[in-house]
Amino acid sequence: MSTGTTPRTVGEPRDGDGTAAVPAARKAPRFPSAFTVLVAVTVVVWGLTFVVPPGRYDTKDGSPVPDTYHSVHLTTGFGGRLKDLFLSPVNGLYGVTNAHSGLTAPGGDGAFFGAAGVFLFVLAVGAFITVTLRTGALTSGVARLAERLQRHRTLLLVVLMALFSLGGTTYGMAEETLGFYGLMIPLVLKLGYDRMVGAAVIMVGAGVGTLASTVNPFATGVASDSAGIGTGDGIALRLLMWAVLTSLAAWYLVRYARRVLEDPARSLVPALPEDNELRAGGGTTEPLTVRQRVVLVLFAATFIFMIFAVIPWADLGVTFLPTLGWYFPELAALFIVAAVVVGVLAGLGEKGTANAVVAGAGDFIGAAMIIMLARGVTVIMNNAGITDTILHALHGVVSGTSSGFFTVLMFLVNIPLAFFVPSSSGHAALAMPILAPLADFAGVGRAMVVTAYQSASGWVNLITPTSAVVMGGLALSKVRYDRYLRFTAPLMGLLLATVAGFMVLGAALA
């Protein structure tokens, strides 16, 4: 897997190392790889720790207490700060936060903060995808599906985006989407689209759903509890938002996809050699064997069960389905076991299955490391005590405003905070106890503050380079970050304006 290789167009000459042979005078500057972007963000944030004064809020039950912000004196010297920078990737993987000091470091006692669970999950998904590909069932199945859906491509894109959006609005589908890129990219290429379409179906679909969360326990649930209201408060407005924003995103994607289908030269992602090989496969496909059908059923069932296992059915009022409460450790185990079962049933044998598992994990290691680096940025901020300082400054901005302007301002104020705190649940637990009471003085229901927060968090996490979901998904799709920004820029503007309109509407109806 390449996370920073520049795609080429068909017929482009190649150097001996496989890179594009472009005359020196014509070389255009390349956007840095995902790793370089995250390293740069890490260094910039580390530099801010020497400028932004440290401070803390008193906490109660893990949440900050309003009006308790105070400056703190950190005993960490330059050497300690430098060590935090040096260890940030390690902390991002398996750092532990000490309950007494609030500092995150490898080992020790406290709450686990690192992304080791997500890291292993990505490797397990890579193993599962590769084993399935080695059986030939997935390739044959995608070819058969593409053949049957040639006349229903638009409907396919809309339905898939709606399904991912449904996952986002109900349970905050985020890192879980990383497992779907191996299936989606081959499918859209076979249908004549480009890799951007495949990436956007998943990333934008789930992202817009999370932006308009209705009962998402990690966003709406945590924020509503911190604001002292029920999860169902304000759900009517959020349901309307979800329907409108999902429709808007689907229209935007279909518009781009049709343009690429009609004129591939207008694609923002020049084709890779393997893309053209897949598109070149024509003719009538061979019928699926019984063994291939069994493998495809197991493949689909694994993803369906993953979704079922992470949805909190009890919190949604669904009492006839059990709430398993699975998270990344259980999901990683699920995909590892599924990889072995698929390999055995497909007849790969012990050696073939083991080799496919190792190769698959190796293919996905780049995306896993990106997740590790992204989590390390947050550790640097927390250890330097600047997260609460930034929150305190934003609190002063919204104080004293009222009505519709207040709700729009709350949305805008949460945008920079969402960048610095990419975790939706962490953002909610940190900001809501402080910002929600402001709604009482503005004559606006607290549910609007929750809606403003989750909209800002979802909007930022569609594009922020500190998001493991964005950078990891783009790495798996082999889509450059700058190309993705070009694709999403108009949509981000449309979403920003539409959300602001919903904020005003919500304030008027409160």
pLDDT of residue 263: 93
Q: pTM for the complete prediction?
A: 0.68
pLDDT of residue 241: 96
Query: Side chain identity at 129, as an amino acid letter?
Result: I
Task: Band the pLDDT of 143: cuts 50, 70, 90.
Answer: low
CB within 8 Å of 108: residues ≥ 6 apart: 96, 98
Range of weakest confidence among 140-144, 236-240, 315-319: 140-144
**Higher per-residue confidence, 310 vs 271:** 271
pLDDT reading at 431 higher than 70: yes
Rounded to 5 degrees, what angle do the CA atoms 199, 118, 40 make?
A: 70
Mean predicted confidence (pLDDT) in 115-128: 86
The pLDDT tens digits for 450-492 are 999 999 999 999 998 877 789 889 999 999 999 999 999 999 9
pLDDT reading at 20 higher than 50: no
pLDDT of residue 147: 67
pLDDT of residue 503: 94
Q: Please answer whether residues 422 and 378 qualify as being in contact, where contact means their C-beta atoms are separated by less than 8 angstroms.
A: yes
Task: Band the pLDDT of 280: cuts 50, 70, 90.
Answer: low
pLDDT reading at 10 higher than 70: no
Q: Please answer whether residues 238 and 214 qualify as being in contact, where contact means their C-beta atoms are separated by less than 8 angstroms.
A: yes
pLDDT reading at 32 higher than 90: no
pLDDT of residue 100: 81
pLDDT of residue 142: 67
pLDDT reading at 397 higher than 80: no
Q: Please answer whether residues 407 and 508 qualify as being in contact, where contact means their C-beta atoms are separated by less than 8 angstroms.
A: no
CB within 8 Å of 321: residues ≥ 6 apart: 308, 313
Mean predicted confidence (pLDDT) in 403-429: 83
pLDDT reading at 140 higher than 50: yes
Please tell me which of 5-9, 131-135, 199-203, 350-354 the model is most confident about, judged by mean pLDDT.
199-203
Range of weakest confidence among 110-114, 338-342, 389-393: 389-393
pLDDT reading at 349 higher than 80: yes
Between CA 467 and CA 461 the distance in angstroms is: 6
Mean predicted confidence (pLDDT) in 427-449: 79
pLDDT of residue 226: 79
**Higher per-residue confidence, 149 vs 475:** 475
Residue 380 in tokens = 């640097």
pLDDT reading at 26 higher than 50: no
Between CA 250 and CA 205 the distance in angstroms is: 8
Residue listed under structure tokens 């496909």: 285
The pLDDT tens digits for 172-190 are 888 778 878 887 888 888 8
| Angle, in degrees to the nearest 10, between helices 365-384 and 468-477 | 160
pLDDT reading at 282 higher than 70: no
Mean predicted confidence (pLDDT) in 217-240: 84
Q: What is the mean pLDDT of the chain?
A: 82
Residue 264 DSSP label: G
**Higher per-residue confidence, 101 vs 66:** 101
Task: Band the pLDDT of 56: cuts 50, 70, 90.
Answer: confident
pLDDT reading at 309 higher than 90: no
Mean predicted confidence (pLDDT) in 320-328: 82
Query: Side chain identity at 430, as an amino acid letter?
Result: L
pLDDT of residue 92: 87
pLDDT of residue 220: 87
First to last CA, the chain: 50
CB atoms under 10 Å from CB of 199, counted, come to 25
Q: Which of 218, 255, 233, 243 is nearest to 166 (CA)?
A: 243
Residue 60 in tokens = 């109660």
3-state secondary structure of 55: strand
Rounded to 5 degrees, what angle do the CA atoms 413, 416, 418 make?
A: 100
Range of weakest confidence among 240-254, 274-288, 377-391: 274-288
Between CA 332 and CA 125 the distance in angstroms is: 7
